[in-house]
Amino acid sequence: MVLDDSDNVAVALRDLKPGDVVNVFLRDVIKVVKIRDKIPKGHKFAIKNIKKGEKILKYGEIIGIASKDILEGEHVHVHNVISYYKVSTG
């Protein structure tokens, strides 16, 4: 599920495993994303490639910064995201 048109991550509505293919609804477009990692229900995955240093957007808001390149379909979590709060407060 994508919560805002500007988001670069989606939320898994069920447990996902590598090789699963999911349809992500972006306004009037359906984007097909092949999952690369095990993603628990409720966790985020990239719906496009995200470069190291790029903002992670969920709800149309910045929730973190990519600590490394993240490929479309990869799990987006503490192993590849720096908290935006931590970055913005120093």
Average pLDDT over residues 5-22: 96
Distances (CA, A) of 78 to 11, 35, 56: 15, 18, 12
pLDDT at 87: 54
pLDDT in tens, 47-56: 999 999 999 9
**Closest by CA position to 24, among listed 45, 38, 52, 43:** 45
Task: Give the domains, in start order, of the chain with CATH numbers.
Answer: 9-89 (2.30.130.110)
pLDDT in tens, 26-41: 888 999 999 999 999 9
Q: Give the chain's count of helices (H) and strands (E).
A: 1, 8
pLDDT at residue 5 above 70? Answer: yes
> Which three-class secondary structure state does DSSP give residue 33?
strand
Average pLDDT over residues 63-84: 94
Task: Round to whole Å and give the CA distance between 23 and 79.
Answer: 25
pTM: 0.90
